[in-house]
Chains A and B, each alone.
Chain A
Amino acid sequence: MDDATSKSFDHPYTVLGEDPSLVIPPAESRQRPTKVYFGILTSTVFLLSLAGLIVRENPNRAENSIPAAGTAIPESSQDNVRFLPVGEAEGVSAKSYPSTRGRLSFNWTAADFAWQRTSYHFQPEKNWMNDPDGPLFHLGWYHLFYQYNPDSAIWGNITWGHAVSRDMIHWLYLPLAMVPDHWYDIDGVWTGSATILPNGTIIVLYTGDTNEAVQVQNLAYPSNLSDPLLLDWVKYSDNPVITPPTGIETDEFRDPTTAWTGPNGTWYVLVGSRLNTTIGVALVYETLDFKNYTLLDHPLHTVDGTGMWECIDFYPISTNSSVGLDNSATGPEVKHVLKASLDNLKLDYYAIGTYDEGNVTWTPDDPEMDVGIGLQVDYGRYYASKTFYDQNKGRRILWGWVNETDADYDDLAKGWASVQTIPRVVTYDSLTGTNILQWPVEEIESLRLNSTEFEDVFVEAGSLVPLDIGNATQLDISVEFEIESTQALEESMLGETESQLECSVADNRTTLGPFGLAVLADESLSELTPIFFRLVKSNGTLKTLFCVDETRSSKATEVFKEIYGTVVPVLDGEKFTMRILVDHSIVESFAQAGRRVITSRVYPTEAIFDKAKLFLFNNATDLNVTAAIKIWQMNSADIHPFPLY
Chain B
Amino acid sequence: MKISLNILLSLIFLFPLPLLSPLLPSSSTPNDNAIVSLIDQTCKRTPYEDLCISSLTSNPNRSRAAGVKELAGMVLDSVLLNATDTLAFTRLLIDRTIDPEVERPLDYCAELYIPVVKFTVPQGRDAFYRGQYKFAEYCLTDAARQADACEKMLPGSAVSPMGDRNRIFQQLCSVAVAIIDILSKDQ
Q: Are A and B a genuine interacting pair, yes or no? A: yes
A residues near B (Cβ < 8 Å) are 139-141, 166, 172, 228, 392, 446, 642-645
Cβ contacts under 8 Å, B119 to chain A: 139-141, 228
Q: Which of B115, B123, B134, B142 contacts A645 (CB 8 A)?
A: B134
Q: Which of A140, A141, A166, A446 contacts B118 (CB 8 A)?
A: A140
CB–CB B135/A166 < 8 A: no
CB–CB A642/B118 < 8 A: no
Q: What 20 additional pairs, Cβ within 8 angstroms, besides A643-B138, A644-B132?
A: A139-B119, A140-B115, A140-B123, A141-B119, A166-B115, A166-B142, A172-B138, A228-B119, A228-B123, A446-B149, A642-B135, A642-B138, A643-B137, A644-B127, A644-B134, A644-B135, A645-B131, A645-B132, A645-B133, A645-B135
Question: A228 vs B149: C-alpha distance in the bound complex, in angstroms?
Answer: 23
The smallest C-beta distance from B104 to any residue of chain A, in angstroms, reads 15
Question: A166 vs B121: C-alpha distance in the bound complex, in angstroms?
Answer: 13
Question: A286 vs B143: C-alpha distance in the bound complex, in angstroms?
Answer: 43
B residues near A (Cβ < 8 Å) are 115, 118-120, 123, 127, 131-135, 137-138, 142, 149
Question: A642 vs B135: C-alpha distance in the bound complex, in angstroms?
Answer: 8
The smallest C-beta distance from A557 to any residue of chain B, in angstroms, reads 45
Q: Which of B123, B127, B132, B142 contacts A139 (CB 8 A)?
A: B123
Question: A228 vs B142: C-alpha distance in the bound complex, in angstroms?
Answer: 15
The smallest C-beta distance from B135 to any residue of chain A, in angstroms, reads 5
Question: A166 vs B135: C-alpha distance in the bound complex, in angstroms?
Answer: 13
- Closest partner residue, chain B, to A138 (CB atom): B119
Contact A643 B123, CB 8 Å, known A140-B115, A140-B118, A166-B142: no
The smallest C-beta distance from A394 to any residue of chain B, in angstroms, reads 12
A-B contact pairs, 20 of them (CB 8 A): A139-B119, A139-B123, A140-B115, A140-B118, A140-B120, A141-B119, A172-B138, A228-B119, A228-B123, A446-B149, A642-B135, A643-B135, A643-B137, A644-B127, A644-B132, A644-B135, A645-B131, A645-B133, A645-B134, A645-B135
Cβ contacts under 8 Å, A139 to chain B: 119, 123
CB–CB A643/B134 < 8 A: yes
With most chain A CB atoms within 10 A of its CB, the pick from B119, B120, B131, B137 is B119
- Closest partner residue, chain B, to A166 (CB atom): B142
- Closest partner residue, chain A, to B134 (CB atom): A643
Question: A140 vs B134: C-alpha distance in the bound complex, in angstroms?
Answer: 17
Cβ contacts under 8 Å, A446 to chain B: 149
The smallest C-beta distance from B177 to any residue of chain A, in angstroms, reads 12
Cβ contacts under 8 Å, A140 to chain B: 115, 118-120, 123
Cβ contacts under 8 Å, A645 to chain B: 131-135
Question: A446 vs B145: C-alpha distance in the bound complex, in angstroms?
Answer: 11
What are the 6 closest A-B residue pairs judged by CB atoms, nearest first?
A140-B119, A643-B134, A644-B132, A644-B135, A228-B123, A643-B138
